[in-house]
């Protein structure tokens, strides 16, 4: 069964350092999402791609966060500089992107970030 | 704007008993509703969804959910709980126009005791 891949699984960094997370969606999935899940809360959407285009980044803190999906396949989420409040689980999800009506999103295992 | 409420932080149930995890939603127009489960240090795993049609939706691992439009609810149910069902459960809603955007509730921890 195809899965969404993410790396690294865990990342510890110091405040003000740069960090990057990688996601490889299920093959053929046109839509890719990055979510942030703070401990004890539900995931919140950071950015959504349709192929290589950003369709929603309204909740992405653009002063320090950036995301790209250059060839419309895998994606990278970067934080620079990291702050203590960025400690969270970063989840990537993908969907076929063919039928927008109630499409199921499939999630990767996540990257747990700890900023010291 | 769309939103989801999960009024219970934790639900406790004995193995073999029926379980219910509550969810209410708010969205303009007809909703698309989802349930996901999360095990410790793992991503979210899809359980079931409601798009249209029969109000009772059956999903993975014996779970089902009932869509109630008048009460704007989408409660998750299982007739007989297993210890292995212990996990964090999230309800989510998506609008039915434009690009799909899931809005999640805060989650309900289900604890099934032997």
Residues A2-55: tens digit of each pLDDT: 799 999 999 999 999 999 999 999 999 999 999 999 988 999 999 999 999 999
Asked whether the beta carbons of residue A45 and residue B102 sit closer than 8 angstroms, the reply is: yes
Among the partner residues B49, B101, B106, nearest to A104 by beta-carbon distance: B49
Domains within chain B, CATH numbers bracketed: 3-113 (2.60.40.10)
CATH number of residue A27's parent domain: 2.60.40.10
Domain that holds residue A86: 5-98+107-115
Q: Are B45 and A107 in contact (CB under 8 A)?
A: yes
**How far apart (Å, rounded) are the C-alpha atoms in residues A77 and B72?**
35
Written as six digits, the tokens of A91 are: 């989840």
Chain B interface disruption, residue of A37, A42, A94, most B CBs within 10 A: A42
Chain B: closest CA distance from residue A93 (Å): 9
Q: Is the pLDDT of residue A109 over 90?
A: yes
Among the partner residues B42, B90, B104, nearest to A109 by beta-carbon distance: B42
**Residue carrying structure tokens 């969804």:** B49
Where does residue B29 fall: left (phi above 0), alpha (psi -120 to 50 degrees), or beta otherwise? left
Q: Which residues pair with B20 in a beta bridge?
A: B77
Q: How many domains does chain A have?
A: 1
Asked whether the beta carbons of residue B42 and residue A44 sit closer than 8 angstroms, the reply is: no
Strands B87-94 and A111-115: unpaired
**Residue carrying structure tokens 């014996």:** B62
Q: Is the pLDDT of residue B81 over 90?
A: yes
């Amino acid at each position: 069964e195809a899965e969404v891949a993410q790396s690294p699984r865990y990342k510890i960094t110091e405040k003000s350092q740069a960090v990057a997370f990688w996601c490889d969606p299920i093959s053929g999935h046109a839509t890719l999402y990055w979510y942030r899940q703070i401990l004890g809360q539900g995931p919140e959407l950071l950015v959504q791609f349709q192929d290589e285009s950003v369709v929603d980044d309204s909740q992405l803190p653009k002063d320090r966060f950036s995301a790209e999906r250059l060839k419309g396949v895998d994606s990278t989420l970067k934080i620079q500089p990291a702050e203590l409040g960025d400690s969270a689980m970063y989840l990537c999800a993908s969907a076929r992107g063919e039928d927008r009506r109630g499409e199921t999103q499939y999630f990767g295992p996540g990257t747990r970030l700890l900023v010291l | 704007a769309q939103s989801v409420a999960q009024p219970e932080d934790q639900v406790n149930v004995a193995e073999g008993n029926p379980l219910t995890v509550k969810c209410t939603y708010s969205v303009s127009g007809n909703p698309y509703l989802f349930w996901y489960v999360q095990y410790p240090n793992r991503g979210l795993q899809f359980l079931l969804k409601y798009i249209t049609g029969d109000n009772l939706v059956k999903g993975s691992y014996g779970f089902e959910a009932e869509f109630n439009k008048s009460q704007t609810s989408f409660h998750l149910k299982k007739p007989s709980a297993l210890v292995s069902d212990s996990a964090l459960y999230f309800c989510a809603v998506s609008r039915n126009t434009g690009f799909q955007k899931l809005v999640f509730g805060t989650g309900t921890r289900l604890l099934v005791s032997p």
